[in-house]
C-alpha cells in the first residue's frame, strides 16, 4: 500500500537489520521468536496482542536493536507457536513468556506489550517480579474500568476473531484488524497477509476459542497494579477516545513509577502507526530505565 508514508511491509522494516527468526522449546511448546541487537545488551521482549504475532512490532525491531537485545515472541497458541489444547488465561500467557526467557537464558528484561501484551506484561511482573526491569504499554488491557464498555468491546473482538478463524479470507481478516489503526492506510497489505496466513492454519482455527479464553479472566486489580514497582511508559493514543485510552490514564495513576506519554493520530497500534515517533520515545525511556542514561530535556 502506498500513501503519505510510502510503501511499508514487514520486510522493508527488517531487510537491513541483522536478525534471527527461529523456534525454541519452551516447556514442550515450540515457540517462534525473532531476535536482533547485541547479545550482551539489556533485553527488551516485545509481546503482541490478541491472536497476534511477532510481526506486530516489525517497525520497532531495528530501532530497539541499535542499543538493545530485542526479542519478539509468538505467545502460546498464537502465530506459528504450538497450540496446546487448553484455555489460555493471562497467567498462562505470562508463564509462557517467563519460560521463553528461561529458554533464552534471560534473567530479566524490559517488556513492551500492546493490548493483551500489556496485560500479560503486568501478569509477568506480578507472578515473576524479579524478571521485569521496565514496561512499555500500548493500549493496555487488564485494567478495571468501564465494565459495560469492556464487555461490549470484547464481545466484538470475540465475534470478529472467531469469524476470521472460521472463514479466513482477505475480508474477514481485514475486518478483524481494522480497529487496530486510526487511519486506514496504516493497515498495510503485508500485515493483513501475514495475519491471513496465520489464520489459515487448521490448528489456529481450532485454537481460537482457547486464544480468546482470557476475555473472561478477571482483570488485574488496582491493588496489584499499584504493587508493580518498575519504570513504566504508558502510551495514550489521545485521538482514539475508547476504553484503552481510559486504561492508559488509569494505569498512569495506579503504577507508582509510571510515565504517561500522549501521542496523536494513532489508535490501538501506535508502535506501527507512528513508529519513528514511538521508537524515539521508547529509546529515551529505556535508556533511562535500563542504561541509567537520563532523557534529554
Q: Is residue 4 part of a domain?
A: no
pLDDT value of residue 199: 94
Query: Which of the four pLDDT bands, split at 50, 70 and 90, describes residue 114?
Result: very high
> Whole-prediction pTM value?
0.94
Q: Is residue 278 part of a domain?
A: yes
Find all residues with CB under 8 Å of 266, minimum gap 6, and list them: 181, 182, 237, 239, 240, 273, 274
Q: Is residue 138 part of a domain?
A: yes
Residue 203: left if φ>0, alpha if ψ -120 to 50, beta else—which one?
alpha
How much is the average pLDDT of 163-179? Answer: 92
Q: Is residue 269 part of a domain?
A: yes
- Residue 139 and residue 162 in contact, taking contact as beta carbons nearer than 8 Å: no
Q: Is residue 8 part of a domain?
A: no
- Model confidence at 1: pLDDT above 50: no
Q: Is residue 127 part of a domain?
A: yes
Q: Is residue 172 part of a domain?
A: yes
pLDDT by residue (tens digit) across 177-225? Answer: 999 999 999 999 999 999 999 999 999 988 999 999 998 899 999 999 9
- Residue 8 and residue 1 in contact, taking contact as beta carbons nearer than 8 Å: yes
- Residue 233 and residue 136 in contact, taking contact as beta carbons nearer than 8 Å: yes
pLDDT value of residue 297: 46
When the pLDDT of each residue in the chain is averaged and rounded to a whole number, the result is 93
Written as nine digits, the cell of 213 is 479464553
Lowest mean pLDDT among 3-12, 33-42, 88-97, 196-205: 3-12
Q: Is residue 296 part of a domain?
A: no
How much is the average pLDDT of 224-248? Answer: 96
- Residue 74 and residue 229 in contact, taking contact as beta carbons nearer than 8 Å: no
pLDDT value of residue 144: 83
pLDDT value of residue 158: 86
β-strands 43-47, 109-114 pairing: parallel
Say which CATH number the domain at 104 has. Answer: 3.40.50.1820
Which residue range is the domain that position 265 belongs to? 17-289
How many other CB atoms are there within 10 angstroms of residue 166's CB atom? 11
- Model confidence at 294: pLDDT above 60: no
* 158 or 122: which leads in pLDDT: 122
Q: How many domains does the chain have?
A: 1
Amino acid at each position: 500500500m502506498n500513501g503519505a508514508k510510502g510503501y511499508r511491509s514487514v520486510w522493508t522494516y527488517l531487510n537491513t537489520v541483522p536478525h534471527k527468526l527461529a523456534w525454541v522449546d519452551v516447556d514442550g511448546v515450540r515457540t517462534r521468536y525473532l531476535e536482533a541487537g547485541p547479545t550482551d545488551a539489556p533485553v527488551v521482549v516485545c509481546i503482541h496482542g490478541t491472536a497476534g504475532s511477532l510481526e506486530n512490532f516489525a517497525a520497532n525491531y531495528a530501532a530497539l536493536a541499535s542499543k538493545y537485545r530485542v526479542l519478539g515472541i509468538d505467545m502460546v497458541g498464537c502465530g506459528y507457536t504450538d497450540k496446546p489444547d487448553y484455555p489460555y488465561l493471562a497467567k498462562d500467557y505470562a508463564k509462557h513468556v517467563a519460560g521463553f526467557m528461561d529458554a533464552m537464558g534471560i534473567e530479566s528484561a524490559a517488556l513492551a506489550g500492546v493490548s493483551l501484551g500489556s496485560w500479560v506484561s503486568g501478569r509477568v511482573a506480578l507472578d515473576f517480579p524479579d524478571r521485569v526491569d521496565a514496561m512499555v504499554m500500548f493500549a493496555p488491557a487488564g485494567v478495571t474500568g468501564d465494565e459495560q464498555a469492556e464487555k461490549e468491546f470484547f464481545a466484538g473482538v470475540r465475534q470478529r476473531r472467531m469469524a476470521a478463524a472460521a472463514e479466513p479470507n482477505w475480508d474477514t481478516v481485514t475486518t478483524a484488524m481494522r480497529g487496530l489503526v486510526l487511519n486506514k492506510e496504516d493497515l498495510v497489505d503485508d500485515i493483513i497477509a501475514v495475519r491471513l496466513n496465520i489464520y489459515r492454519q487448521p490448528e489456529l482455527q481450532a485454537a481460537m476459542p482457547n486464544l480468546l479464553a482470557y476475555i473472561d479472566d478477571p482483570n488485574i486489580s488496582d491493588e496489584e497494579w499499584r504493587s508493580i514497582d518498575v519504570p513504566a511508559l504508558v502510551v495514550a493514543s489521545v485521538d482514539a477516545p475508547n476504553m484503552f485510552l481510559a486504561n492508559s490514564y488509569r494505569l498512569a495513576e495506579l503504577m507508582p513509577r509510571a510515565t504517561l506519554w500522549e501521542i496523536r493520530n494513532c489508535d490501538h497500534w501506535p508502535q506501527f502507526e507512528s513508529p519513528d515517533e514511538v521508537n524515539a520515545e521508547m529509546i529515551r525511556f529505556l535508556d533511562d530505565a535500563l542504561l541509567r542514561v537520563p532523557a534529554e530535556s
